[in-house]
Amino acid sequence: MQRKIYDEDHEAFREVVKEFVRRYATNEKREQWERDGEVDRATMLAAGEQGLIGLSVPEEFGGAGMIQDYRFRAIVNEEVIGAGHGSLAGALGIQDDLAVPYIVHMGTQAQKEKWLPGMATGEVLGALAMTDPGAGSDLRGVTTNAKKVDGGYILNGAKTFISSGKTADIVVTFVKTGEGNRPDAFSLVIVENGMEGFEHGKKLSKMGFHGWDTAELSFTDVFIPEENLIGGVEGHGFVQLMKNLPLERMSIGVSAAAAAEAAYKWTLDYTKERMAFGQPIAGFQNTRFRLADMATTVDVMWTYVDRAMELYAESKLTAEEAAQVKFWTTEREWEVLDQGVQLHGGYGYITEYPIARAFLDARVHRIYGGTNEVMRELVSRQLIGK
């Protein structure tokens, strides 16, 4: 089904992204990222140079100024995921959807001047660390804490599962700055690489996204200067996180739709080529019916996600609506990918094939960004007015 959200500028940008993928995201590169467990810096710098990151950074700081317009980011996701590079898409997404927004929307003028130009070029890579080893869904259970001292804070604690945690230069970190677990007991601070007492733990070995780092971080008496408090205000961390969650969750919906579309296309091509019982397997009625299901699901996913992007552009996408998008699209993604694997037969299980890698990558979409159970909890609470 034809989509309506893109105009000529978007399609011109799509060509730029396609060219970037052709030049910088080769199969050899992907294998290198998978061996290293991370996307190399040169690729991220090339992405900066070609304008694929920093899309929401205001022009005065060297970005594209697409502050509420997610369509260009969606094209990056579609093309990079569509070419079978889930890990690269993840690394680009962390920068633009999870790190940059905290500085663009909530940073002080000094924080914007200091970090945004480098974030637009890829010289400064960011990450977002909310999850403690003991608290993921229950963010108010976080115990990583920053105690006020003269001129700043002393940070102690640990974070885990942090995407791009090893490769990031700065980490927007959710910490406890007050007593109890009221929302105003938490703040966001920027932890910089090289700060004394800040250590990157091991890169975690994952089921999917093998070319994208996920790391543990630890903080032992790290001095955080006052100017690294996001927005310069203490006690706003929880509210700041809530403000960015619609974007984060919508972005997962976009990735889910892009992965489902890619899976459908890979499967369509494969089933037209693969022969069994003297005919292409696409000739079997079961295969054709499954392909019809996949194509229809992908169309509905995009219709829903495109509407979310329109609402986001008008600053009208609510946290609950974004949560609905997140849980519904990631579950449809899973079904489409599972069907794609099935129609590839044994080859669908072999990671040389993009369908197998995308299937493994997709599993975490139902877990991170808030689990799908927590998403349903948020949505249902609003329904019954709790």
Ligand X SMILES: Cc1cc2nc3c(=O)[nH]c(=O)nc-3n(C[C@H](O)[C@H](O)[C@H](O)COP(=O)(O)OP(=O)(O)OC[C@H]3O[C@@H](n4cnc5c(N)ncnc54)[C@H](O)[C@@H]3O)c2cc1C
The binding site for ligand X (CB under 6 A) comprises: 128-131, 136-138, 161-163, 206, 214, 364, 367-368, 370-371, 373-374, 377
Contact call for residues 355 and 346 (beta carbons, < 8 A): no
Residue number closest to ligand X, CB atom: 136
Catalytic residue list contains 248: yes
Active-site residue identified among 78, 234, 248, 321 = 248
Torsion of the alpha carbons at 107, 109, 110 and 113, rounded to the nearest 10: 100
Q: Rounded distance, CA 375 to CA 368, Å?
A: 11
Strands (DSSP E) along the chain, which ranges? 126-129, 145-149, 152-163, 170-176, 186-192, 198-203, 214-225, 275-276, 279-280
C-beta closer to ligand X: residue 126 or 294: 126
- State which residue, 303 or 380, has the beta carbon closest to ligand X: 380
Least distance from ligand X to the Cβ atom of residue 50, Å? 24
DSSP string, 156-217: EEEEEEEETTTT-SEEEEEEE-SSTTSGGGEEEEEEETT-TTEEEEEEPP-SS-TTS-EEEE
C-alpha span between 268 and 195 (Å, rounded)? 51
Closer CB to ligand X, residue 49 or residue 373? 373
Helices assigned H by DSSP within 37-108? 41-49, 71-82, 86-93, 100-106
SS3 for 129?
Answer: strand
CA–CA distance, 129 with 186 (Å, rounded to integer) = 13
Residue 86 or 348: the one with the smaller Cβ distance to ligand X is 86
Distance from C-alpha of 99 to C-alpha of 76, rounded to nearest angstrom: 17
**Strands 214-225 and 275-276, bridge-based pairing:** unpaired
Q: Which two tokens stand for residue 162?
A: 């942090």
Closest contact distance (angstroms) between CB of 98 and ligand X is 6
- Three-state secondary structure call for residue 77: helix
For the bound state, the minimum distance from the C-beta of residue 142 to ligand X, rounded and expressed in Å, comes to: 10
Q: Which is nearer to ligand X, 216 or 306 (CB)?
A: 216
Output 17 or 158, the one with its CB closest to ligand X: 158
List phi, psi (to 5°) of 124: -115, 115
383 with 320: CB under 8 angstroms? no
Nearer to ligand X, 14 or 206 (CB): 206
Active centre residues (catalytic): 248
